[in-house]
Amino acid sequence: MTMLEVKLEGLALDMTTNTPVIILAPVELEKVLPIWIGHAEAWAIAMELSGVASKRPLTHDLIRQVIETMGGKVDRVEITDLKEQTFFAVIQISRDGKTERIDARPSDSIAVALKTGAQIYVNEDLFTVEAQDTSETPAMPTDRESLRERLRNINPEDFGKYSL
């Protein structure tokens, strides 16, 4: 499995599903990977991107603090697979010369990566997955123009200042 380093290129609200979507883009390719996420995770990611700190630690702050207090370090986050329209990810943590790979949702993994400064990687195969549009789940465009078209009706006031 070839992993590509990605950057978080955008955070928006898909108006057709009223669901937040994060857009990941490989550092050296003209592809994108949209991942629909929950509102709470989107809020945590938006706060981190905006540099807004909460008065008390949120869940992702707590995860970072626990890892660091126990002597660990988040090495990287990997979005590894897509099964039955669900993305899978792992958080790779090193501690005392040992590496652990923890199963996690991509949205939580990305939030933890942002909190810790860890790099985000995506399985290269996920950028070529053929989308299957169903009444329950939106098709997953992997090129920038198709995604822009899908998200064209986003009202910036609906979800932060992040857009493509």
1.10.486.10, 3.90.180.10, 3.40.50.1010, 3.10.690.10: which CATH number matches 3-155? 3.10.690.10
Q: Residue 126: which H helix or E strand, with range? A: none
pTM: predicted TM-score of the whole model, two decimal places: 0.79
Distance CA 163, CA 152 (A): 10
Domain ranges of the chain: 3-155
pLDDT in tens, 64-108: 999 999 999 999 999 999 999 899 999 999 999 999 999 999 999
Q: Write down the pLDDT at residue 46.
A: 93
Listing from the earlier edge strand, what are the strands of the sheet with 86-95? 33-36, 19-26, 3-14, 119-123, 73-83, 86-95, 98-104
